[in-house]
Amino acid sequence: MRIDVVTLFPDFIRQSAELGVVGRAGERGLMQVACWNPRDYATDNYRRVDDRPFGGGPGMLMLIDPLRACLAAARQAAPEPAPVIYLSPQGERLTQRKVRQLAALPRLILLCGRYEGIDERLVASEVDEELSVGDYVLSGGELGAAIVIDAVGRLQEGALHHAESATQDSFEDGLLDCPHYTRPVEHELGTVPEVLRSGDHAAIARWRRQQALGRTWLRRPDLLARISLSKADQALLEA
């Protein structure tokens, strides 16, 4: 998969894409991240990319033309069609389901806003969708783009050591993940639950499912409300 990022801070995106699982996906050729700086497409001597908003008010807005030229260059860099996704607090909220959809695409272009945002005419004509990483306001889209790159990158086939670990994560089956433990068994902070050491795989699976159901019920009842539980799950939840 290829992700092109239009950003005034390409170093941040490049550096974050070099870390951990996503960095490994890059090294293995599973994922390619390229950055495009609108400043390189500004036409004045000051490489200006922003201006004051009409109607007054605080802050600056990103200009249409440098962004438009930058997006055109990013589009032409590879043959695959790519939706342009503007990271924006006004967009659809990013979910694991959405991440799975994006991860299946051959290519994406992520557009990072700065200042008070982007001239609306560019958003209306060049952007295919807006994606928000949460109901709060960041000073720029780069952190959001890094989140998309990470979440999508770890789902590329071969990126994780154990492919099934992604399918057991929170949200994949509509529930939060169960708690996990490693050595030592005994610690001053507590003891690893006995069932996990029993070698009884059916009992372990049952315990994990029950924990996942219980945690979701306690912490995110909104998630439980969205799925229909089997009779076995109902029984585990009520046990």
Is 132 a residue that touches ligand SAM (CB under 6 A)? Answer: yes
The residue within the footprint of ligand SAM, chosen from 10, 38, 66, 144 (CB under 6 A), is: 144
Asked about 233 being catalytic, the answer comes back as: no
Phi/psi-derived region of residue 95, left when phi > 0, alpha when psi is between -120 and 50, beta in every other case: beta
What's phi and psi for 62, nearest 5 deg? -75, 135
Closest CA to 49 of 109, 1, 9: 9
Q: Which is nearer to ligand SAM, 45 or 125 (CB)?
A: 125
- Which residue among 50, 89, 119, 142 is the active-site one? 89
Question: What would the DSSP string read from start to end of 63-85?
Answer: -HHHHHHHHHHHHHTSSS---EE
Please report, as a single letter, which amino acid is at residue 186: E
Check residue 66 for interaction with ligand SAM (CB under 6 A).
Answer: no
**SS3 of the chain: helix, strand, coil, percent, to 5:** 40, 15, 40
Active-site annotation holds for 206: no
Q: 26 or 144: whose CB is closer to ligand SAM?
A: 144
Candidates 35-43, 132-140, 158-166, 169-177 — which segment interacts with ligand SAM by CB under 6 A?
Answer: 132-140
Q: Which stretch binds ligand SAM (CB under 6 A): 6-14, 115-123, 178-186, 211-219?
A: 115-123
Q: Which residues bind ligand SAM (CB under 6 A)?
A: 87-90, 112-114, 116-118, 132-134, 136-141, 144
